[in-house]
Amino acid sequence: ETGVTQTPRHLVMGMTNKKSLKCEQHLGHNAMYWYKQSAKKPLELMFVYNFKEQTENNSVPSRFSPECPNSSHLFLHLHTLQPEDSALYLCASSQAGTGSTDTQYFGPGTRLTVL
């Protein structure tokens, strides 16, 4: 699926580093999402943005900081992470901001390893 791109695809960082994940959607959607995918655990919704406004934060630790400068771009800023934060971080987008009939389109993910 090339409609949603994520960079970098792989990231290794130390616990004291600061890094950012980037997501860009080329589908003209109004809602964007960050998910965390850990091994053998259900996909966890982290943040939801509708029309650039954050509408959901699922009790995510403050060491994860999202930013949505416009409807096409979404960032996840990382600082002082823990090894248990190592996971695949997936970005998704959908057409409308409310109502869950809209299909979410996913990017390929960023594989994050925290040392």
Partner 1 sequence: AQSVTQLGSHVSVSEGALVLLRCNYSSSVPPYLFWYVQYPNQGLQLLLKYTSAATLVKGINGFEAEFKKSETSFHLTKPSAHMSDAAEYFCAVSDPNNNDMRFGAGTRLTVKP
Contacting partner 1 within 67-86 (CB under 8 A): none
Contacting partner 1 within 5-44 (CB under 8 A): 31, 33, 40-43
What DSSP designation does 71 have? T
Task: Considering the complex, state which of residue 4 and residue 81 has its C-beta at the smaller distance from partner 1.
Answer: 4
Residue among 24, 30, 76, 97 that touches partner 1 (CB under 8 A): 97
| Rounded CA separation 49/103 (Å) | 15
CB-CB neighbours of 99 under 10 Å: 9
Q: Of 110, 90, 94, nearest to 32 (Cα)?
A: 94
Stretch near partner 1 under the rule CB under 8 A, chosen from 14-22, 62-70, 72-80, 89-97: 89-97
Q: Of 63, 112, 114, nearest to 91 (Cα)?
A: 112
Closest distance of CB 64 from partner 1, Å: 18
Stretch near partner 1 under the rule CB under 8 A, chosen from 13-21, 48-56, 60-68, 70-78: 48-56
| Rounded CA separation 80/16 (Å) | 5
